[in-house]
Amino acid sequence: MLMSEVKENSKTIHSEENIILHVKGLTKKFNEVIAVNDVDFHVIEGEVLGIIGSNGSGKTTLFNLLSGVLDPTNGKIFALQQTKFKFHEIYDIIRNKFREKLNFGNKIGVNISGYKPHTILNKFGIVRTFQIVKPFKYMTSLENVTVPNIPRFTFSSSTKLKTESMRSLLAVDLGEKQKYPAIILPHGDLKRLDFARAMSTKPKILLLDEPFSGLSSQDAFRVTQLIKNTNKEYGVTIIIVEHKLKLLANLVTRIMVLDQGRKIAEGTPKEISKNKEVIAAYLGKEASQIA
Amino acid sequence: MKIKWSYYFDEIKSRKFYIFGFLLLISITSLDQWIIIGSTVTQGQELSIIPSNINLAIILQKAAVLVIFAASWDLLSGYSGQVSFGHALFLGMGAYLSAMIKIGSSLTFGNEFTVFPGLPDNPHVFFGINIDLSVLQSILYAALLVSLFALVLGALTLRMKGPYFALVTLVLPLIAQILVTKIWGDYTGGDGGISIFNTGQLISNPIDTDISGLELFSLKIEQLYSVILVIAILSVGFMYFLARSRYGLVLRAIREDELAATSSGINLNFYKLSVFIISSFFAAIAGGLFTQTLGTASSSIFDAERSFEVIIFTILGGIGTIAGGVIGTFVLFFAISIYIDKGFVDIPTIEVLIFGIILIIVLRYLPRGLVNAKPQLRNALFFGTFFSILTAYYDTGVLWPWMSDRINPAIFLENLFGENEKGLFGLNILVVQGRMILYFILSTIAGYYGPESLQKIRLKLWGVWPNLGKFDPPK
């Protein structure tokens, strides 16, 4: 899309870094409960952003909003379009034209709030994993990673489809278990299968919803290595949701803290561990006074 | 606990099952004088009003039609997980619409205007069978109309899940039944329905009309069966390969977890709607052919019994495998028509009771159906069926008549057990069908335990069994 097509009233972000996701005033209400309350943040290309917060602070709801599973009550999510719409998706083309645009330096972001999950994934390259793993239970692990490949390789040869799926399965060391149905795999393998399923869509932004939950220290180490490799080798931007600051400390470049739906702090892991508001949210006000 | 995970996805993928199955279906009509059912039919056959092998062809016709119907239900409910309890809606719509398109119909809203102009007869001879192509044309048009209706219905019910979708599909055929009988009775013939003798039969009379009426009747039924079998193989084959393709893989993914599927980039609406349309298309084709086998398109086609029948057929065969629907339909429909109806002539709706019992037993012991049963049982059942039918061929002198004259299993059994009418455990071994059941039971048991015990004997001869693992080094 050309620069001239951008509306006049669209604002420009002046930043030297390459921003690929910009969230503005995102709010989600479930009847009277406000799960996510006016959250603003941006994500820079190639970084690993950690989001921490106690239970019920709206981390998973934020992910659901970003990936399109839920529609936001208010607010905008600007993302860069990665793939062109095909000719038969005329409804999406028209809708995309009239969407609000935001200038990210030299690229143009589109407001994707309210789009369907598959559109966000296939066109804007944002994919998510699940806190509670959701494998296709009675399908083999190879079939599990074949499904996300199908939208990109709908009419290509079956050999190519299988090769692509096998590659993403081998990347997480599940090549031996390609013919096992997902229902008999242990939890650690399922977490990695979920990771492989997300990665086989060739995303730009990977949303990991508690990738370490229920894992032994050995498995957690494997997942950490996977996340580091994905970020370095494929240049995928990663957003991780996690309870524990400890696991994220060596992994992330930046951390955002949520409390009761609000963003209360943002910064490097060291800054966050000394932040009084964060300590208050985690351990209570008295603890923050001691610190 | 050791999970035998091969059970969960190990379908029949071996080609031999399909090849033998098709050969059996094609060749089975050549069997004469072995299975006769129903008292009226028996009397008619004794007086030679009705030809002897006519019943078998009629049963096979209906089974072949229901196979298309079962496969279409399986594609919708077994693969994409939208469980439909009223699939007879599309069957009935196909039946009525194909008949109405053939004769043509018009509506009166003040002025009379034509909805369907009607199709003139267009008989052609293919491989010696005189087929009225306009009937096939009308069935195709009806199926296309039904799939257009399914597009609208599917768009409305797209967001419904589980019980809500089932409830809607359960109610719709009942509404259709009332519409057809009470409200649109002038166009649809009311309770009587539309007879194919008024509209058009798929098989026209052969060109050389030298043969007698009785032979003509028999010939037309056999020819209709062969035409339906070809259509059934084509349409079930299409659905089978569709289900095995990546399209079917996506449908299975949607069945397992909709949220995970859509988060993997799958367009749920497209897949759910398209499978609804494809399924209704084939159900409508089955409906159009069903009128040809029944002789009328009547309102009883919308019965809930029809919708549930197909579910039970598919559960027996195995849900989520197109082959399961086919096998389940042939096995159960055959069993009902031939053995159950004959055994319990006095009780008219015995099959509903038997269905229920079969359903409970299958859900308890074979929840994934015959197709997904453990290989030992599956092979044993296949061997039993194959062997019993082979003996029937041999017995009636179709295969090696010179041989069966000399060594007759009937005479052998008579010599062994004496000549009693009640027979062995209630099986009358003097008639072919009684002997078939006996051979089926015996050969299934032999097929189940045979290979294992043969192996044991072999190992015993080698001196390995029962000392297996005894002399292994300690771990």
Residue B475's pLDDT is 60
**Whole-number Å distance between alpha carbons of B265 and A197:** 11
Residue with tokens 């083309």: A93
Quick check: B381 pLDDT over 70? yes
Chain A CB within 8 Å of residue B209 CB: no
Quick check: A4 pLDDT over 60? no
How far off is chain A from B145, nearest CA to CA, in Å? 24
How far off is chain B from A48, nearest CA to CA, in Å? 21
**Residue burial B451-470, b: 16+ Cβ < 10 Å; e: rest:** eeeeeeeeeeeeeeeeeeee
Contacts of A82-85 with C-beta under 8 Å, sequence gap 24+, read A82/A123, A82/A124, A82/A125, A82/A204, A83/A122, A83/A123, A83/A125, A85/A123
Residue B135 near residue B200, CB atoms below 8 Å:
yes
Q: What is the 3-state secondary structure (H, E, C) of A208-245?
A: EECCCCCCCHHHHHHHHHHHHHHHHHCCCEEEEEECCH
Q: How confident is the model at residue B465 (pLDDT cuts 50, 70, 90)?
A: low
Residue A291's pLDDT is 60
Task: Choose among A140, A147, A180: nearest Cβ to B250.
Answer: A147
Quick check: B6 pLDDT over 60? no
Chain A CB within 8 Å of residue B246 CB: yes
Q: State phi, psi for A139 to the nearest 5 degrees.
A: -115, 150
**Whole-number Å distance between alpha carbons of B69 and B92:** 11
Quick check: B410 pLDDT over 60? yes
CB contact under 8 A, B8 and A183: yes
**3-state DSSP call for residue A257?**
strand
Residue B249's pLDDT is 92
Quick check: B275 pLDDT over 50? yes
Task: Choose among B256, B262, B264: nearest Cβ to A137.
Answer: B256
Quick check: A36 pLDDT over 60? yes
**Whole-number Å distance between alpha carbons of B177 and B201:** 24
**Whole-number Å distance between alpha carbons of B164 and A188:** 36
Q: How confident is the model at residue B180 (pLDDT cuts 50, 70, 90)?
A: confident
Quick check: B448 pLDDT over 70? yes
CB contact under 8 A, B9 and A116: no
Residue A16: name the closest of A44, A57, A40 by CA.
A44
CB contact under 8 A, A147 and B9: no
Q: How confident is the model at residue A7 (pLDDT cuts 50, 70, 90)?
A: very low
**Which stretch of A1-15, B220-234, B245-259, B381-395 has the lowest confidence by average pLDDT?**
A1-15
CB contact under 8 A, A181 and B5: yes
- Helix B54-73 vs helix B304-317: angle between axes, to the nearest 10 degrees? 80
CB contact under 8 A, A147 and B268: no
Strand residues in B27-186 grouped as ranges (E): 105-109, 111-116, 123-126, 129-132
Question: Which residue of chain A is at minimal alpha-carbon distance from B262?
Answer: A118
- Residues linked to residue B106 through DSSP beta bridges, in sequence order: B114
Quick check: A140 pLDDT over 50? yes
Residue B382: name the closest of B25, B62, B70, B16 by CA.
B16
Query: Is the pTM of the predicted complex or chain greater than 0.95?
Result: no
**Whole-number Å distance between alpha carbons of A80 and A102:** 9
Question: Which residue of chain A is at minimal alpha-carbon distance from B251?
Answer: A147
**Whole-number Å distance between alpha carbons of B357 and B254:** 31
Question: Which residue of chain A is at minimal alpha-carbon distance from B256?
Answer: A136
**Whole-number Å distance between alpha carbons of B313 and B326:** 8
Task: Choose among B249, B259, B268: nearest Cβ to A147.
Answer: B249
- List pLDDT tens digits, range B79-114: 988 888 989 999 999 999 998 888 877 777 777 777
- List pLDDT tens digits, range A142-184: 999 999 999 888 888 889 999 989 988 998 888 888 888 888 8
Residue B292 near residue B226, CB atoms below 8 Å:
no
CB contact under 8 A, B265 and A69: no
Give the pairing of strands A48-52 and A74-80.
unpaired
CB pairs under 8 A between A and B: 84
DSSP state of A30: E
CA distances from A155 to A120, A147, B37, B226, B362 (A): 21, 14, 51, 35, 39
Q: What is the DSSP string of B313-326?
A: HHHHH-TT-HHHHH
Mean pLDDT of A31-37: 87
Task: Choose among A116, A117, A147: nearest Cβ to B253.
Answer: A147
How far off is chain A from B119, nearest CA to CA, in Å? 36
Question: Which residue of chain B is at minimal alpha-carbon distance from A143?
Answer: B249
Q: How confident is the model at residue B147 (pLDDT cuts 50, 70, 90)?
A: very high
Question: Which residue of chain B is at minimal alpha-carbon distance from A63?
Answer: B263
Sort out which chain B residues have CB atoms less than 8 A from A67's CB and list them: 263
Q: What is the DSSP string of A36-64?
A: EEEEEEEEETT-EEEEE--TTSSHHHHHH
CB contact under 8 A, B264 and A197: yes
How far off is chain A from B368, nearest CA to CA, in Å? 12
Task: Choose among B5, B253, B257: nearest Cβ to A180.
Answer: B5
Give the pairing of strands A33-44 and A101-104.
unpaired
**Which stretch of A135-139, B376-380, B446-450 has the lowest confidence by average pLDDT?**
B376-380
The residues of A whose Cβ lies within 8 A of any Cβ of B are 67, 69, 116-118, 121-122, 127-128, 130, 134-140, 143, 146-148, 150-152, 154, 158, 161, 180-181, 183-184, 197, 201
- List pLDDT tens digits, range A225-272: 889 888 888 889 999 988 777 778 888 888 888 888 888 888 888 888
Residue B331's pLDDT is 83
In a mutational test of the B interface, the residue from A69, A126, A139 whose CB has the highest number of chain B CBs within 10 Å is A139
Residue B94's pLDDT is 92
**Whole-number Å distance between alpha carbons of A277 and A289:** 10
Residue B152's pLDDT is 94
How far off is chain A from B283, nearest CA to CA, in Å? 27
Residue B383's pLDDT is 86
CB contact under 8 A, A150 and B259: no
Residue B8's pLDDT is 47
Quick check: B333 pLDDT over 90? no
Q: Which of A9-23, A168-182, B203-217 has the highest mean pLDDT?
A: A168-182
CB contact under 8 A, A181 and B9: yes
Q: What average pLDDT does the structure give for chain A?
A: 83
CA angle B46, B50, B56 (to 5 degrees): 100
CA distances from B210 to B206, B207, B216, B401, B455 (A): 9, 9, 9, 30, 60
Q: Which of A77-81, B114-118, B188-192 has the highest mean pLDDT?
A: A77-81
How far off is chain B from A286, nearest CA to CA, in Å? 42
Residue B69: name the closest of B322, B303, B247, B272 by CA.
B322
**Which stretch of A59-63, A146-150, A213-217, B103-107 has the lowest confidence by average pLDDT?**
B103-107
Return the higher-pLDDT residue of B11 and B414: B414
Furthest-apart CA pair in chain B: how many Å?
96
Element spanning A98, H or E: none
Mean pLDDT of B21-49: 57
Question: Which residue of chain B is at minimal alpha-carbon distance from A157?
Answer: B246
Q: List alpha helices for B161-267, DSSP H.
A: 162-178, 185-188, 196-199, 213-244, 246-256, 258-262
Return the higher-pLDDT residue of B55 and B57: B57
Quick check: B190 pLDDT over 90? no
Q: How confident is the model at residue B39 (pLDDT cuts 50, 70, 90)?
A: very low
